[in-house]
Amino acid sequence: MNGKIISIANSKGGVGKTTTTVNLGTALARQGYKVLCCDCDPQGNFSAALGLKPDTITTTIANLMMSVIEDNGSGTESLTNCCIIHHNGLDIIPSNLKLSAVEISLISTMSRETVLKKILTPLRLRYDFILLDCLPSLGMLTINALAACDSVIIPLEAHYLSYEGLELILRTISQVKRNINNALTVEGIIFTKYQSHTNFCRSIRELVEREYGESIHIFKDMIGHSIRVAEASAVGVSIFDHDPQNSVAEAYQNIALEVAGHEK
């Protein structure tokens, strides 16, 4: 097994990165793949969206990164095993606010862009997919995720400001590709919270397709706006557990098939 690492990233906040990580991860696990999701956001939303209480968890991605920073990773592998939570068919490396302190420590660390990579590379042998839920910033934590992964999925809301932000994340991806991670690719853009009955959403989608469609894959399945999705994160479960008949569940299922298909 040599699992694929995928970052779910966009510097714009609230566009559905965490929701995509939860539901794409769950969809891949339901299709029989071994999936690890790593929460790379000090907000700990991924962990919370699956019903965990980030503030009460003692071993998180922050401890793993500190272990690499402080002693170059000897002992990180056994710590990683303590850190992984098995939850509802998914393996999870949780996060909480302590990760903010790690981001500050990274500033003065040697090879600061590749700390996360050192933790995740050995885990490729144990998983088919490792998904990284990034925070809404292009700081050192996101750079670490982009340096550690094979490809990036960009969740995008069909709003004008999100369209503007797309340029920013694409520029960062190409800088990381040039300087740190030559093999990095964009897996694709997923439209999220999409309201297909509005001309506005359709016109933004057309704009993105026109501007980027030739060079970047745009997933044909769009994630519709549904209050059931927001409810699912509030009660701490995926859409597959909360409302399996919802069209959003079907869309994430199709996207998972497509992502897995890219591997064949």
Ligand X SMILES: Nc1ncnc2c1ncn2[C@@H]1O[C@H](COP(=O)(O)OP(=O)(O)OP(=O)(O)O)[C@@H](O)[C@H]1O
| CB nearer Mg ion, residue 23 or residue 45 | 45
| CB nearer Mg ion, residue 67 or residue 95 | 95
37 Cβ partners below 8 Å, 6+ apart?
A: 21, 22, 25, 46, 90, 91, 92, 93, 130, 131, 132, 133
Q: Which tokens is 159 given?
A: 């709003």
Q: What is the number of other CB atoms lying within 10 angstroms of the CB of residue 48?
A: 20
| CB nearer ligand X, residue 20 or residue 67 | 20
State how far the alpha carbon of 264 is from the alpha carbons of 1, 4, 68, 258, 261, in Å: 13, 12, 33, 10, 5
For Mg ion, which residue of 23, 26, 45, 142 counts as binding (CB under 5 A)?
A: 45
| CB nearer Mg ion, residue 43 or residue 76 | 43
Identify what 192 binds: ligand X, Mg ion, none; CB under 5 to 8 Å per kind. Answer: ligand X
* 68, 115 contact by CB (below 8 A): yes
For Mg ion, which residue of 4, 5, 11, 17 counts as binding (CB under 5 A)?
A: 17
Residues that bind ligand X (CB under 6 A): 13-19, 41, 45, 135-136, 192-193, 223, 225-226, 229-230, 233, 248
Identify what 16 binds: ligand X, Mg ion, none; CB under 5 to 8 Å per kind. Answer: ligand X
CA atoms of 156 and 136, how far apart (whole Å): 12
Stretch that binds Mg ion, among 10-18, 146-154, 214-222, 246-254 (CB under 5 A): 10-18
The yes or no reply on residue 144 touching Mg ion (CB under 5 A) is no
Q: How far is the CB of 256 from ligand X (least distance, A)?
A: 16
Q: What is the number of other CB atoms lying within 10 angstroms of the CB of residue 111?
A: 14
CA atoms of 15 and 138, how far apart (whole Å): 15
- Residue nearest Mg ion, Cβ-based: 18
The yes or no reply on residue 225 touching Mg ion (CB under 5 A) is no
φ/ψ of residue 261, rounded to 5 = -65, -35
* 232, 243 contact by CB (below 8 A): yes
| CB nearer ligand X, residue 8 or residue 69 | 8
Q: How far is the CB of 223 from ligand X (least distance, A)?
A: 5
- Applying CB under 5 A, the residues found at the interface with Mg ion are 17-18, 45
